[in-house]
Chains A and B, each alone.
Chain A
């Protein structure tokens, strides 16, 4: 069966264009972050309204206010002509707004019917599975989902589970607005097609759909309007009929550039290749190949979920690859454990420093020395003097702000914590640094210091891979840029001819949309 074409669907939607949801001057601050700055958003009855922006643009925050997850904010929110301020998700749902999250909120060991009617099993104390199975059956038939009500949720594919969650949202009779947060991220092509049919169906019933997605192709196909956000600000709302993907990309990335981008590739033309990755594969990675040269900073750009971190975890031995080759300094290296990667001179600096990079409850010095105890001990006994003198050396060299090496690492600022991780690998004589989001959670001043450190490392002949979702960072630091999308490399650019628009185009180049 072929999905309804855009025009067919549109006709249905245009019958009623009254605005049922309107948000004005919405402002939301978190400690240290101004997440939303005077944003607005409006939704017509029976329209599919896409919300797009880079990671951190404020889409999620806006949607969380819309659906009652956040109740504290400034601004005006009207729904069905009434001023509202939802205190929690339940209030929003009773009013008629439901959300289906990207990570599905379902109970895997319960059945489809039990999931749909959780919290509404029966009026009394005893549950009647027959009753809810019958109700679920009706709903499932209504939505044309190919599942049985008594099937366990864990046996369903992601796509089917998502349909069930949408059915659950629609089982509340009051539902007028359905928010879908990146619904196609985990779906196969066929499942995505199914979803688009369902969305068209909902639209025909007069339901309004807010659709968050990074995929421009599908937005162009199913949305009526698109609102673009950037850095917590509302940028513009466009009618899909009168715009192109290029217009949207321009709005998404068009921020002022505070940092000067790097002018040219600083790598010597005859620099040797220190790391070569060939046809790397895993469940999330499809045939990734690239080369890294001595003294190079290689940027990995892409949107969150593009598979960049997964590639790095394979290279550093944190996860196992299905197939592929990692060649370090011309030799094929079997990397099965981080130990092997380190032996080959590869050190990984995780995007989640607190979880993977540091041991928060231990002092600065012990964190730095952790991989190097073999050099810092005699016959198994730790040489405390050597440890503290080495740690002291790096505290001075990297200008780490700490009262001393005995200070617990959790009491340091983000920038100084990152320097502790860098010291850890410098002490181990690492040659290939993999920085995953090197400045996440680090303030502007410290950011510049980290950038300078990375530049110094590269100038000293170390090689760096830098994964970053921040385009200014990518353009400021990289000699060469590799762009990934959905587990694949979609492009490679030299810094001398790279720009934000090109990177964003490659980062949103989803194959299934047939571009």
Chain B
């Protein structure tokens, strides 16, 4: 009994703290915007909060895996948009059926994941540098394939528009939310119930000890970047379903929202610590901020300022906590 109370206590003062604070922040923000925003507490606003969470949510889930291994992915945003762009080329230029185009998006994103994985896992490049390179490559190369033409996906009313109903909205019902929940559960099982998940945490905590336990950590890192690629691809599909027209040479900066969501949710950039539930909370904190400030009539730029402040506060809390832990 004592042990249980003790472990709850140590959870709250330890890794759980940041998640609790994220929940608190979410509630406070919600109350704040309900009072000061216009029409914030409506179903429409709630749906638009969900809408702006989808693709960031998928990106953030993938990036969480990478960050827990002690890595980072700066290419997630450009890989997402770039893959959606190539999918658009497949539809408009190669005239493939829309279902195959979605497969093209997935294949493209997974290949970038393999590329990142090989650079980091096999060639030993620092993740920051490797994925920075991939960011530029995906930004440029996907635009080249699209001949720098904006790619348009079929509209909801056209025969090929069914994919929007599946991945975006079905008669006003937010389908993206369903997919996010489904893939959140799959990712959660992957991270918490499988060997891959165990090794993800273990590598982030102490890679040398993992190696000396006879595990080829390089292979597992490749696997983690591939998982990340899968989620970038899913994000790409949702992105295509949401926005219809994909502009070349965009997408950079989106990964920063994903990384920010992870950090707000308590995932440590030094690796070994993190959770998907925290990441999803972080995604919602960002979405609520975006939507809420809009409902207050503040210009978009204020969202960015506030997201920056929230990220800094979140990391500051992590720094203070680990300093305390070191003293104890």
Please report A residues at the B interface, Cβ cutoff 8 Å. Answer: 316, 318, 337-339, 341-343, 348, 350, 355-362, 366, 370-371, 373, 377, 380-382, 384, 403-404, 406, 424, 428
Contact = CB atoms under 8 A, between A and B. Distances in A.
Nearest to B206: A359
Contacts of B7: 406
Contacts of A350: 212
Contacts of A337: 211, 214, 216
A341 B3 CA distance: 38
A370 B202 contact: yes
Given A373-B195, A380-B195, A359 B210 contact: yes
Given A361-B273, A370-B202, A406-B7, A356 B195 contact: no
Contact of B212 (A318, A362, A382, A428): A318
A361 B212 contact: no
27 contacts: A337-B211, A337-B216, A338-B211, A339-B214, A339-B215, A342-B214, A348-B212, A350-B212, A355-B206, A356-B208, A359-B210, A361-B205, A370-B198, A370-B213, A370-B215, A371-B214, A373-B195, A380-B194, A380-B196, A381-B195, A382-B193, A382-B198, A384-B193, A403-B3, A404-B3, A406-B7, A424-B213
A93 to B, nearest CB: 31
Given A337-B214, A382-B197, 7 more contacts: A339-B214, A355-B206, A355-B208, A359-B206, A371-B214, A371-B215, A382-B195
A362 B204 CA distance: 11
B121 interface: no
A359 B272 CA distance: 10
B195 A377 contact: yes
B100 interface: no
A384 B192 CA distance: 11
A338 B214 contact: yes
A275 B212 CA distance: 19
Nearest to A318: B212
Nearest to B271: A361
B200 to A, nearest CB: 12
Interface in B46-102: none
Contacts of B197: 382
Among B196, B197, B205, the one with the most A-chain Cβ atoms within 10 Å of its Cβ is: B205
A289 B208 CA distance: 27
Contact of A359 (B3, B194, B205): B205
A316 B208 CA distance: 13
Contacts of A343: 214
Contacts of A403: 3
A471 to B, nearest CB: 27
Interface of B: 3, 7, 193-199, 201-202, 205-206, 208-216, 272-273
A318 B198 CA distance: 22
Contact of A371 (B194, B201, B213, B273): B213
A292 to B, nearest CB: 20
Contacts of B199: 373
9 residue pairs, one from A and one from B, having the closest CB atoms: A342-B214, A339-B214, A371-B213, A359-B205, A359-B206, A361-B205, A370-B213, A338-B214, A373-B195
Contact of B211 (A318, A382, A404): A318
Given A339-B215, A381-B194, A382-B195, A370 B206 contact: no
A424 B213 CA distance: 9
Among B197, B205, B212, the one with the most A-chain Cβ atoms within 10 Å of its Cβ is: B212
Contact of A358 (B193, B196, B209, B272): B209
Contacts of A371: 213-215
Nearest to B325: A410
B272 A361 contact: yes
A406 B201 CA distance: 15
Contacts of B208: 355-356
A381 B209 contact: no
A356 B214 CA distance: 12
Contacts of B211: 318, 337-338
A403 to B, nearest CB: 5
Contacts of A384: 193
A381 B212 contact: no
Given A361-B205, A362-B205, A338 B212 contact: yes
Given A316-B212, A338-B213, A358-B209, A366 B193 contact: no
Contacts of A357: 209, 212
A397 B209 CA distance: 24
Contact of B198 (A338, A373, A404): A373
Among B193, B197, B198, the one with the most A-chain Cβ atoms within 10 Å of its Cβ is: B198
Contact of B202 (A342, A362, A377, A404): A362
A191 to B, nearest CB: 32
A68 B198 CA distance: 47
B69 to A, nearest CB: 13
B198 to A, nearest CB: 6
Contact of B209 (A356, A373, A382, A404): A356
B275 to A, nearest CB: 13
Nearest to B201: A362
Contacts of A428: 214
A343 B193 CA distance: 25
Nearest to B6: A403
Contacts of A356: 208-209, 212
Nearest to A361: B205
Among B198, B201, B213, the one with the most A-chain Cβ atoms within 10 Å of its Cβ is: B213
Among B201, B215, B272, the one with the most A-chain Cβ atoms within 10 Å of its Cβ is: B215
A491 to B, nearest CB: 29
A404 B201 CA distance: 20
B213 to A, nearest CB: 4
A506 B170 CA distance: 82
Contacts of B196: 380
Contacts of B194: 377, 380-382
A370 B3 contact: no
Contacts of B213: 338, 342, 370-371, 424
A431 to B, nearest CB: 14
Contacts of B198: 366, 370, 373, 382
A358 B205 CA distance: 10
A360 B195 contact: no
Contacts of B214: 337-339, 341-343, 371, 428
A404 B2 CA distance: 13
B85 to A, nearest CB: 33
B262 to A, nearest CB: 17
A433 to B, nearest CB: 14
Nearest to A358: B209
Contacts of A358: 206, 209
Nearest to B268: A361
A416 B201 CA distance: 23
Contact of B216 (A339, A362, A404): A339
A371 B215 CA distance: 7
A381 B196 CA distance: 9
Contacts of A342: 213-214
A366 B206 CA distance: 13
B1 to A, nearest CB: 11
A343 B216 CA distance: 13
A124 B193 CA distance: 62
